Amino acid sequence: MLIHWNNFCERSNASLSKSVTVQIHISPNDGVPIYLQIVNQVRYLVGSGRLSPGEEIPAIRVLAQQLLVNPNTVARAYLELERAGVVTKRHGSGTYVSEAGSPLARRERLKILTQRADALLAEARHLDVEPDEVIKLLRERHEILTQSQK
Amino acid sequence: MIEIKSLSRRFGSKLALDNVSLGVPGGVVFGLVGENGAGKTTLIKHILGLLKAQSGSVRVFGLDPVTDPVGVLGRVGYLSEQRDLPLWMRVDELLRYTQAFYLKWDAAYAEQLRRQFGLDPASQIKSLSRGECAKAGLLLALAHRPELLLLDEPSSGLDPVVRRDILEAIIRTVADEGRTVFFSSHLLDEIERVSDHIAMMVSGNVVLSGPLDAVKQSHHRLTLRFGTARARPPALAGALSVHGGGQEWTVICNGTLSELMAAAANLGARVVEQGVPSLEEIFVARAGAKSLKTQPPSDLS
């Protein structure tokens, strides 16, 4: 019993000592490369304000162990996020969400919606629905949703 | 790190390895995929020098594991599929016993792993659960901090919690120390998560090998729609498997997307859906294609 308790303490200390965590979930089978799933979810967390500017994100090997994915995959995702200006690496200390303020956050939010819009338009094309009809449908749905919220 | 050239092995009338060539670069996690009986364990036994090459050659760290077992095995951590541990020993005795074989055994690291895996030093090996046996085996493989970690079906038959521990250990090994991991598995989502290089074996042949990204980028899942219903599956160049009927057929295929699109158009089909197949889909398609006809191996590395 003692051993299990020690084991438990060690583990929780290890995770507490660096309390930086992000809620990311990986599904290897959904057709999107794992590095891109990480990129998209960090973008989403930043865009939706669940990660704020200046906040630290986990070290590569910590996230790799949390997600059970290859560290090179996480490194690649972080590089991509850094290039896109979403995160900034500070020498010797870690990786942080960029201090770019709201214009970038808005751009990120639009970027997320752009991906959804592309998927919607692709689906519409397969179903032989014209873009104008899709726009009309969006307006209709918007009205229904705002009315149901009143 | 590992260099295998034209390796063949026959057991009686059965050809277990058929002209296998494989290169494993240093610092990667290399996943070996294949059904039971495909030759994965036989290949691993050649890497360890437990089997001598009948034809072809095996080099590990540039050395021949058969003629130089000391030079090779002292730098390799190995977890066998059988986890053949001495049942009558206690956990602490097993650690001391194994320590004697390795110059570079790190006793502090072994103790850290023992606590982390929740193994009681006073437990007898025969009283350990399946998961604990796997952890004990993994501890022995890791504690001398090997340059190459060889794991044969490390998570086969284990519950998800123990599998997590094992995958974590693999990741920690490459992340902390930049070591090389070579592991075999038939759990493809596991391979897809942790590997950066893969090889697929089907009945003694390596049918595919290379960086995981390249493997995924060169395979596509296309759903073709034809103007009229077809009685027979379409013959698309590069197709590994075809499923469907009537006007719609889904094809797992190998090639560049533009070539495949052109081939589909040539057949008079419209591509109504296009996606990246999972490693599992690629494997099932490859294994099926192999059993129908002999496919030339595609080497992407």
pLDDT tens digits for range B154-175: 888 888 888 888 888 888 888 7
R_g of chain B, CA atoms, integer Å? 22
| Residue predicted with more confidence, B300 or B211 | B211
Pairing of strands B298-299, A87-90: unpaired
Residue B298 pLDDT: 53
Flag whether pLDDT at A8 surpasses 60. no
Angstrom distance (rounded) from CA B301 to CA B299: 6
Sort out which chain A residues have CB atoms less than 8 A from B277's CB and list them.
Answer: 31
B299, B209 contact by CB (below 8 A): yes
Closest by CA position to B254, among listed B296, B293, B294, B203: B296
Task: Please indicate if any CB of chain A lies within 8 Å of the CB of B29.
Answer: yes
Q: Do B193 and A34 touch (CB under 8 A)?
A: yes
Average pLDDT for B263-291: 85
Does position A3 have pLDDT exceeding 80, yes or no? Answer: no
Q: How far apart are CA B205 and CA B42, in angstroms?
A: 12
Which residues have CB under 8 Å from B187's CB, separation 6+? B155, B156
Residue A13 has pLDDT above 70, yes or no: no
Between positions 272 and 301 of B, the ones with CB within 8 A of A are 272-273, 275-280
pLDDT at B299 over 60: no
CA–CA min distance B20, chain A (Å): 26
* Average per-residue pLDDT for chain B: 88
Closest among B99, B100, B140, B101 to B119, alpha carbons compared:
B140
Q: Residue A4 pLDDT more than 50?
A: no
Give the residue among B228, B213, B205 at the shortest CA–CA distance from B289: B205
Min Cα distance B145 → chain A (Å) is: 18
Measured between CA atoms, how close is A49 to chain B, in angstroms? 28
Is any Cβ of chain A less than 8 angstroms from the Cβ of B81? no
pLDDT for A104 equals 58
Residue B300 reports pLDDT greater than 60 = no
Mutate to test the interface with A, among B193, B216, B252, B270 (most CBs of A within 10 A): B193
Q: What whole-number percentage of chain B has pLDDT above 70? A: 95
Which chain A residue has its CA at the smallest distance from B118's CA? Answer: A4
Q: Between residues A17 and A1, which one has the greater pLDDT? A: A17
Which chain A residues have a beta carbon less than 8 Å from that of B276? 31-33
- pLDDT higher than threshold 60 for residue B95: yes
B192 in reach of chain A (CB within 8 A)? yes
For residue B55, pLDDT over 90 is answered with: yes
Name every chain B residue with its beta carbon within 8 A of the beta carbon of A78.
none
Per DSSP, the three-state class of B295 is coil
Q: In the prediction, which pLDDT does B252 show? A: 93
Write down the pTM of the prediction. 0.78
Q: Is A39 on the interface with B (CB under 8 A)?
A: no
What single letter denotes the amino acid at residue B294? Answer: T
pLDDT over threshold 60, residue B291: no
Residue A19 has pLDDT above 60, yes or no: no
Residue range B254-283: average pLDDT? 88
CB-based burial label for B58 (10 Å; 0-12, 13-18, 19+): buried
Question: Are A69 and A33 spatial neighbours (Cβ–Cβ below 8 Å)?
Answer: no
List chain A residues with CB under 8 Å of B168.
65, 68
Q: Do B193 and A60 touch (CB under 8 A)?
A: no
* Among chain B residues, CA nearest to A34: B193
Q: With an 8 Å Cβ cutoff, is A70 touching chain B?
A: yes
User: Do B115 and A33 lie within an 8 Å CB cutoff?
Assistant: no
Nearest CA in chain A to B195: A70
Percent of all residues in chain B with a pLDDT value above 90, rounded to a whole number: 46
Output the pLDDT for position A150: 65
CA atoms of A100 and A54, how far apart (whole Å): 9
Closest-CA residue of chain B to A9:
B116
pLDDT beyond 70 at B149: yes
Q: Where are the alpha helices (DSSP H) in chain B?
A: 40-47, 69-73, 91-99, 107-116, 130-142, 160-177, 188-194, 212-217, 257-266, 279-292
Q: Check residue A9 and give its pLDDT.
A: 35
Is B167 an interface residue toward A (CB < 8 Å)? yes
**What's residue B85's pLDDT?**
86
Render pLDDT for A87-131 as a digit per residue (tens, 0 to 9). Answer: 998 877 789 998 865 455 667 778 778 888 888 998 898 888 999
**Can you tell me the distance from the alpha carbon of A135 to that of B152, in angstroms, rounded to the nearest whole number?**
55
Per the CB < 8 A criterion, the answer to whether A36 and A54 are in contact is no
> For residue B20, what pLDDT band results from cuts at 50, 70 and 90?
very high
ipTM of predicted complex = 0.73
pLDDT attached to residue B64:
93
pLDDT in tens, B173-228: 887 667 899 999 988 888 988 998 999 999 899 999 999 989 988 999 999 998 88
**What pLDDT score does A5 carry?**
35
Question: Could you tell me if B177 lies within 8 Å of chain A, comparing CB atoms?
Answer: no
Residue A3 to residue B118, Cβ atoms within 8 A? yes
B277 neighbors B251 (Cβ within 8 angstroms): no
The rounded distance, in Å, linking the Cα atoms of B95 and B123 is: 12
Say yes or no for a CB contact (<8 Å) between B175 and A11. Answer: no
Determine the Cα angle at B42 with ends B41 and B45, to 5°: 85
B102-115 confidence digits (pLDDT tens) = 888 999 999 999 99
